[in-house]
Amino acid sequence: MGGSASRGNHTPNAEFNIYVDPEAASMVFASGIPIVMCGLDVTNRATLTAEMIASLPTLNRTGAMLHSLFQHYRGGSMSRGLKMHDLCALAYLAKSELFTTQACHVAVETQGELTRGTTCVDLANRLKLPANAEVCLEIDVEGFRQWFLEMLTHPAVP
């Protein structure tokens, strides 16, 4: 989970996880290993509603624990809903069909005075460089929410 194909959350263009160490992120994107980038374009829409959050303590002990933890979470509010940024990485691994992706070349700006940490996602292949990442562009929000509840209420979860 990191980056963005549009705007940032730490600077106008840079997402926090990439911004804090753009040199490392640049090396990862240039490494040739298979990468799936799940950035803010998707994670900002991967939300739990206020109603879902309120129901968590009634589901099981894990739901009660999450409800307690979410009271200190900074990705939204208990009354308006919460953005599940990091949970998107797990959701992609468990249920990739929830996501629409596109193979793109992604580079990380390491020098720019105003753009440091920006993930430059070449959606239109203007640079004519080989794709080095599958970039998540859309998420089935209702499917994501259903997956979350199914995962949380699985019989193996106390």
Tokens, residue 25:
């992120």
99-108 and 36-37 strand pairing: unpaired
92-117 pLDDT, tens digit per residue, is 999 999 999 999 999 999 999 999 99
Residue 143 predicted with pLDDT over 90: yes
CA–CA separation, 76 and 57 (whole Å):
19
Residue 152 predicted with pLDDT over 80: yes
48-99 pLDDT, tens digit per residue, is 999 999 999 999 999 999 999 888 876 677 788 899 999 999 999 999 999 9
pLDDT of residue 134: 98
| Catalytic hit among 10, 72, 85, 154 | 85
21-44 pLDDT, tens digit per residue, is 999 999 999 999 999 999 999 999
Are the C-beta atoms of 125 and 21 separated by less than 8 Å? no
pLDDT of residue 55: 94
CA–CA separation, 123 and 131 (whole Å):
10
* Unique residue bearing structure tokens 């997402």: 15
Instruction: Check residues 73 and 139 and name the one with the higher pLDDT.
Output: 139
For this structure, is 154 an active site residue?
no
CA–CA separation, 85 and 44 (whole Å):
7
For the chain, domains (ranges, CATH) are: 1-46+84-158 (3.90.245.10), 48-82 (no CATH)
